[in-house]
Amino acid sequence: MMSDPVLTLVESFMKQSRSAVDAVLMELHHFVGEEQGDLAFFIMEGNKKRETRLVKKHFFLRASAEYANPQLTLEELQGVIAARLLETCCGYMAKNSVTEPSQTDFVEIAEMLRKPPRGTIVPFLLNTDDVEPDRYSINPLRASIADSGQSAFPAASVTTDRLSVDQSFLGKYEGSLVSHDDVALIEAHLKESSGSYLDFVDSVKYDMLRKTSEILGIELCIPTYRMPLDVLKKEKPGQPMHKLIQESHHDYDRIGSIYGFMGRNLGKRKTLLLTVPHSTKGFGSKRAAQGSIAFKQDSFDQIKVQYKTTLLYANELDKEETDVSVARADDTFTVEAEKIVNYDYSQTPSSPQFALYDALAPEDAAIWHGIGVFGGFELIRSIVSVRSACLRKIVLGEVACRGNKPPLQLNLVPDKMWRHPKYGNIDAGVGCIQDLAGLVNTGICVAPLSVKERLDE
């Protein structure tokens, strides 16, 4: 009798990630969902976006994928599968009052994984649309992104009209970062693209998720929510994200408090821009942007911004950092306080810092990818500290954050993350892995993160 790989994955997950399961179960035990309103998520079907509205009473579990590359990576796939495992295991155990699952329970959970999510817990992708389109130097469209002048644009502003696969990139990374099949899929979607880079990337990733779902026997097409620019574009002045930008710049003390929650000191340096204004030339890269917040006495006066050409981040194969993508930008300007404290994105587009806009993200728990090796604790401390301060009305005025406490922070344990069997990188496209099912069945290890808040001083 053949073994069921999905069942095997569930059993190993419960052993390797029991601390995360227990942490989510504890959150569920105390969870009180919002009764009013719903949220607009979407799933791509081919090149068409299908909206799905979900009521706010759900417990939202956040995974993530990147707009910095169209191909689905091992790292992204592992986060999606982890989200589905947590959703099914915890949802089943909470609903049926199970503390120690039996073999029969494992079989039921495995069957749940084969179907779309249904229940209190909703796993979803939070995709940040303010990143550079080749932020991590793994985008096979690299050369055309640069040649079209869009390397320092936020992904939300990038268009696909002049994009094409970079043959020199393929010559170097085919089989390690991207596969022949990945490239064929990317090129097919480029031909059918409406011009939106975001929709193009999501259409490729959802196609890859569907194919991977068939290979693994797990339904992986969970809904997506874009932030922050997609939200700002849809909002009117005075609505939550606009209000967040306004309230964060209220005065010197307010800005100083937020600096403190982000581990900075306003009295020493004023170079952390709480929101990064975009250039009229289209530049919006936070990496390429430098600047400072200027005051007159204790009154916020203006934001000074300079965009300079700068290196982005190396991929995992480029240990010597000799093949790093470049965000090309050159502009200098100022934005007067009036345009921020009475904010209108349509007039003054900008990208708020993640630690700020995450306060409005619809998440009750979040899955990070390898914090401690592939990301730092300080960002998470900033996120938790700002969210806590917002909930306690210490900063951001009457901006309404979700819930009554910061979201539970979970982590794919770094040394247990999946790697390319030959090259050892986590940023490999899933099409590069010949025995994907075998790699997945080595298991997933998720653990809760203990995060100490920065206090208001």
What is the edge-to-edge ordering of all strands in the sheet holding 299-311? 289-296, 299-311, 326-336
| pLDDT over threshold 70, residue 450 | yes
Can you state the angle between helices 74-95 and 5-16, rounded to 10 degrees? Answer: 80
| Sequence-separated (6 or more) residues with CB below 8 Å from residue 3 | none
The answer as to whether 267 is a domain residue is no
Residue 193 falls inside a structural domain: yes
Element (H, E) at 409: strand 408-412
pLDDT of 400 reads 78
Q: What is the pLDDT of residue 398?
A: 76
* pLDDT of 298 above 90: no
* Domain-located, residue 196: yes
Q: Cis peptide leading into 116, omega within 30 of 0?
A: no
Structure confidence at residue 3 as a pLDDT band (50, 70, 90):
low
Distance from the Cα of residue 101 to its chain's centroid: 32
299-349 pLDDT, tens digit each: 999 999 999 999 999 999 999 999 999 999 999 999 999 999 999 999 999
Residues with Cβ within 8 Å of 289's Cβ and at least 6 positions away in sequence, in order, are 273, 276, 283, 305, 306, 307, 329
List Cβ neighbours of 285 (8 Å cut-off, separation of 6 or more): 132, 151, 152, 153, 154, 307, 310, 327, 329
Instruction: Give the residue numbers spanning the domain of 171.
Output: 142-203
CB burial of 332-351 (b: ≥16 within 10 Å; e: otherwise) equals eeebebeebbebbbeebbbb
With contact defined as beta carbons under 8 Å apart, do 299 and 357 qualify?
A: no
Asked whether 369 and 408 are in contact (CB, 8 A), the reply is: no
Which pLDDT score is estimated for 454?
Answer: 80
Identity at 172, one-letter amino acid code = K
Q: Which residues of 364-375 are buried (b: 16+ CB within 10 A; e: fewer)?
A: bbbbbbbbeebe
Structural domain includes residue 179: yes
What is the model's pTM?
Answer: 0.95
Is residue 187 situated within a structural domain? yes
CA dist 424 and 278 (Å) reads 37
Is 198 within the bounds of a domain? Answer: yes
Name which of 109, 79, 104, 77 is nearest 92 in CA terms: 109
State pLDDT tens for residues 120-135.
999 999 999 999 999 9
Range in 45-49, 111-115, 137-141, 142-146 with the lowest mean pLDDT: 45-49
Residue 456 banded pLDDT, cuts 50, 70, 90: low
How many structural domains are present in the chain? 1
> Cα separation of 174 and 187, whole Å?
15
Q: Residue 42: beta bridge partners? A: 51, 224
Rounded Cα–Cα distance for residues 409 and 17 (Å): 14
Is 188 contained in some domain? Answer: yes
What radius of gyration, in Å, describes the C-alpha atoms of the chain? 22
Instruction: Report H helices in 68-116.
Output: 74-95, 103-113
Please give the mean pLDDT across all residues of the chain: 94
Summarize pLDDT for 30-59 with one digit per residue, the tens: 998 777 888 999 999 988 999 999 999 999
- Average pLDDT over every residue of 128-148: 98
Q: Does 402 reside within a domain?
A: no
**HSE toward the beta carbon, residue 199, CA cutoff 13 A:** 17
- For residue 94, give the 3-state DSSP assignment: helix
The stretch 434-445 carries a mean pLDDT of 94
CB 158 within 8 A of CB 132: no
What share of residues in the chain are helix, strand, coil (percent, to 5)? 35, 20, 45
